[in-house]
A and B are shown apart, each in its own frame.
Chain A
Amino acid sequence: MIVQFFFTVLIVVSLLTFSSKAHAYLDPGAGSMVLQGLLAAFFAVVAFLGVSWRKLKSWWQHFITRHKG
């Protein structure tokens, strides 16, 4: 949550300094790439925490079953 908040503030500040233009010949997909690039580190942390959580959960379940048995 703290990480998310940090990135949020960072991005909001960067956005406020920017003026946007709409143009029929331009691909809106480029903005999606920029957003992903800015959040790359954040998403990597999300993935790391996800994997760690799964490992921890599986270890805990294994631990409980072993001690019950």
Chain B
Amino acid sequence: MSLVKQNEGSFRDPANRVFSFNRDIYRAIFAAGVQDYTSAKSKGVYARLSEAGILVPHQEISIPPAAPEETVYCLRHVSLPMVSYPWEWSYTMLKEAALLHLDAMEILVPQGFWLRDGSALNVQYDGKGLRLIDTLSIGLRKKNHPWIAYRQFCSHFLAPLALAAYKDIRTLALWREYIDGYPLDLAIRMISFRKRYLSRLFIHLTLHARFQQKGQGNDQKGDYKAPIFSDASLLGLIRSLRRTVSSLRWKPHSSVWRQYQPGQNYGDNVLNLKKQNVDRIVGRLKPATVWDLGGNTGEFSSIAASHGSFVVSIDADPACTDHLYQRLKGDLQGKSILPLTMNLANPSPALGWNEKERYGLRDRGPADLVMALALVHHLVFSHNIPLPSIAEWLSSIGNHVVIEYISKNDPMVSLLLKARGNEHLPYSQDLFESSFAHHFSLLEKMELNSSRSLYLYAKKQIAYETNSSTDH
């Protein structure tokens, strides 16, 4: 069955629109975008950026019947295994997305082009690295005009990175409210006096916020005229932004992953047995997409990725996800792992206009395989989520689930219960198995030791048309 679906996140730009058809991703270019597109194409800008690994590649095709009527050119893109958003990214990923914009600008400006946007939402991880996905955000530079995306760049990158680095990493959660970028005046109010006035942030955040108010005043008088801004000035601005972004560093103070050494907590034998079983299961199912819930620093994500799967490793601890993201440049190089920070008791909701502009976690599934290892007892005891509800939720996001049940006798669970008191929701192996039997068929049950069991479930009535690939 063929299905044309307009991408709900691309309706704002009059120059182009993204749609999917038979699970391929297309970009329809309208009259407003033709000059930018043809100029960039003839000068080889797209090819150069794609070769440099900055821009997702595309292929120009003849206009398919599924394209909107006003289409002048049509491009086909490679579809992404999973779309993700800055409110889920690790600190380093957001920082690299900022630098990616500046890399692009350094190539574009000398050729007479620039980025019309400075949006974090224009960056995605494709399994190998970060890429700009909005081809039409590359446009002809307005001669001697200041960078039109400067404000957006500072709101999308500088403000969140500065707050996370200098105030608290948890401020990245503000993204969920400010999906069009952080208000600069809010950001500077939250940063200390010293960082506000005596750091590199002074020009791009502090003065910038004040000038936004000044600009509003000028607009009101109706006498606003864009000042002259040469190529040299623009390149200087990019250099200054690069130095500012590079100077921001977040150092995790204390974190679970630093203290948490799986083998020390429940024995190397159990850990090895769990690893062997996960390895065997992933090898058997060969899933295209795996979601590792409560992925920690990616021990099991790495095993799944070694089978060629695209793995999304989700953890609530930003130190874990950032550590994992950095490992992708080191010992995990070549593996397709996307670390996302998310509290699973409050997963990413659908956001934006009509609640469809940005996808919720569930909208991006189901994954071929969901791994929930040493997770369920945390959801029950720490977040008071009933076991039947956990089973129902997992059946909505995964076609197969490999899940670990840990009994109350386990030393780690005892420790958790000791801290939280003994009053909790019903929790037993019988309830666990009956809850999952409602939604899943049991494929395998493996005893790891007297208190830990591993289950492999397949969702009952698996949807044959999975929707694991997502739009731009």
A residues in contact (CB < 8 Å) with B: 4, 8, 11, 15, 18-23, 26-48, 50
Contact = CB atoms under 8 A, between A and B. Distances in A.
Contacts of A45: 236
Interface string B202-221: 11000110111111111110
Main secondary structure of the interface of A (DSSP, over half): helix
Nearest to A24: B216
B448 interface: no
Given A34-B215, A34-B218, A43-B237, A29 B151 contact: yes
Given A22-B213, A31-B213, A43 B240 contact: yes
Given A11-B207, A47-B236, A30 B216 contact: yes
B150 interface: yes
B330 interface: no
Given A35-B207, A35-B208, A28 B216 contact: yes
Nearest to A48: B232
B227 A33 contact: yes
Nearest to B213: A20
A47 B232 contact: yes
Interface of B: 146-148, 150-151, 154, 202-203, 207-208, 210-220, 224, 226-230, 232-237, 239-240
A40 B233 contact: yes
B215 to A, nearest CB: 3
Given A23-B216, A37-B146, A32 B211 contact: yes
Given A8-B202, A26-B220, A40-B228, A32 B146 contact: yes
A43 B234 contact: yes
A4 B220 CA distance: 30
A28 B220 CA distance: 11
Contact of B211 (A4, A22, A35, A40): A35
Given A36-B229, A37-B227, A44-B230, A28 B215 contact: yes
Contact of B216 (A8, A22, A39, A41): A22
A27 B213 CA distance: 10
B367 to A, nearest CB: 39
